Amino acid sequence: MNDRPDPRDLRRRAEAWLAQDPDPVTAAELRAILESGDEAALAGRFGARLEFGTAGLRGELGAGPNRMNRVTVMRAAAGLAARLRDAAASPSPGSGVVIGYDARHGSERFALDTAAVVTGAGLPAWLLPRPLPTPVLAFAVRHLGAAAGVMVTASHNPPRDNGYKVYWGDGAQIVPPLDAEISAAIDAVGRVDGLPLGADWTVLGDEIVEAYLDALSGLPLGAARDVRTVYTPLHGVGRDVLLRAFARGGFPEPAVVPEQADPDPDFPTVAFPNPEEPGAMDLALALAARTGADLVIANDPDADRCAVAVPDPAAGSGWRQLTGDEVGGLLAEHVLRHTGGADRLVVTTIVSSSLLSVIAGARDARSAETLTGFKWIMKAGAPADRIVFGYEEALGYSVGGDGGVIVHDKDGIGAALAVAALAAEAAREGRSLTDLLDEQARRYGLHATAQLSVRVTDLALIGAAMARLREAPPAELAGRAVERVDDLALGADGLPPTDGLRFRLAAGASGGPARVVVRPSGTEPKLKCYLEVVRPVPADGDVAAARTAARADLDALRDALAAVLALPGA
């Protein structure tokens, strides 16, 4: 059976697209492809399309439905507006859309197109005044009483990508069935050159940033302020807002990495603009070493993630980059120590460390686990629960105080403030963040986590690997018996179905259990595997030795899993 697209059909689709494309750049790109007869290029752009889901849209810039471009964005905006009009028979100020954008290629243009389509559909629209962090947009949705929000960003993806993230009126990212309903409305949109376009949207002023910064004053920041920080926005939009947040909170001004200080959509100093990637924080660590800093903080380009590094003489570089789970555990305990109430809820995901539930139990708070993504974290619990902290291992944190979380999404600015406050508080007591981590290991057991991430060029390899694991799951990994296999596609522990597998492993020689979760990435061509081992540590035990042993356990698990996956690059 030949499932290759018909070149004549591809050409017809491309010509129809070209006739409605308002962008001279992508129109010229498509015209050149048509003139060259490049069937592979046509198939790459018109043989599939970007699917609208709970992550909205994200993909490479270029012409065609399988790329991010003005036609794709206008169709998405029209579908969103149609879904909102279905929900409100008559438009009102509360039925509008607030729109934000970062400094990536095309972001401002896509935001303006969204505003034009939304107002053309008869709905109010508010546009953020300039490229700003994603958490400002998420905050603005609730602050303005909007029905929805749009953030034009591809977060930490490569420079050639952009994306379109949709929020609902609660300030959180959309979840099913909204994604399917909006997707169906997008499918019903005709040619974009026939859409009515408005021009009467409201461009917000700096008061929206001021309101966000005022809200951050509700974080548990304590009284200590003596901390020297190096900061990098990784060529993104976080710098100005973060510096204002630190100044407003009374913290010393962070030293900003000059080579990465200004927004630059080409991200020239990093291979991937993601602080999790090896080398991304090298310039920040070098500046910290030269200046004698106490703390290094990095945001990703849209400033919704926060990475942390601290001095560590035992590390080869003299600095230790903390994992998302380590920062999550520290911030969770910090928040629970500074808040009260039986309704407190802390939330993380099924791929993050199980430590959070242990901390919550010790602090008389409730905990919950969700599917991956902040869209699920912010939906956790019962209506009476007060979410005071949420995090995911991929450096995403939402920090709150007595009034609950400030932003219903990842907030790299608020998290940076809270980390600085925690570091200053510890220093005043003669301790460091690494000391706090050691104390947690002795109190709760050492919960060590790691990842195996396999990037592929052929997405079919990921599907095949998942199918093999389902058909013949391993009986053991690294000498540990697999005691239970949960197929997350069938739903587990009351969670919605998702493509993933969870393996619970027997205790090792240390007496602690282990866990492995395998799932395809929702935003990148990767298969991601999340590993955890737990090692009990006596109250007077050697935590450094326990960490060394845990790393060996994780390395053995990683090697065993790579052999089972049998993927190139694993």
Contact between 125 and 119 under an 8 Å Cβ cutoff? The reply is: yes
Q: Which of 419, 372, 366 is nearest to 388 (CA)?
A: 366
Work out the number of other CB atoms within 10 angstroms of the CB of residue 53.
Answer: 16
Rg for the chain (alpha carbons), in Å? 24
Strand order in the sheet with 319-321: 255-256, 229-232, 295-299, 306-311, 319-321
Contact between 251 and 294 under an 8 Å Cβ cutoff? The reply is: no
Which positions are catalytic? 155
Torsion of CA 499, 504, 510, 512, to 10 degrees: 90
Amino acid at 349: T
Q: Where are the beta strands (DSSP E) in 422-509?
A: 446-455, 476-477, 480-487, 501-505
Report helix, strand or coil for 396.
Answer: strand
DSSP of 195-231: S-----PEEP-THHHHHHHHHHTTS---S-----EEE
Q: Which of 255, 265, 324 is nearest to 290 (CA)?
A: 255
Dihedral of CA 249/252/253/256: which sign?
A: negative
Q: Token pair of 397, please?
A: 């944190």
Peptide linkage before 177 cis (omega within 30 of 0): yes
Work out the number of other CB atoms within 10 angstroms of the CB of residue 65.
Answer: 17
Contact between 367 and 357 under an 8 Å Cβ cutoff? The reply is: yes
Q: Token pair of 19, please?
A: 């006739």
Q: Which of 48, 526, 42 is nearest to 277 (CA)?
A: 526
Dihedral of CA 284/285/291/293: which sign?
A: positive
C-alpha 341/C-alpha 387 separation (Å) is: 11
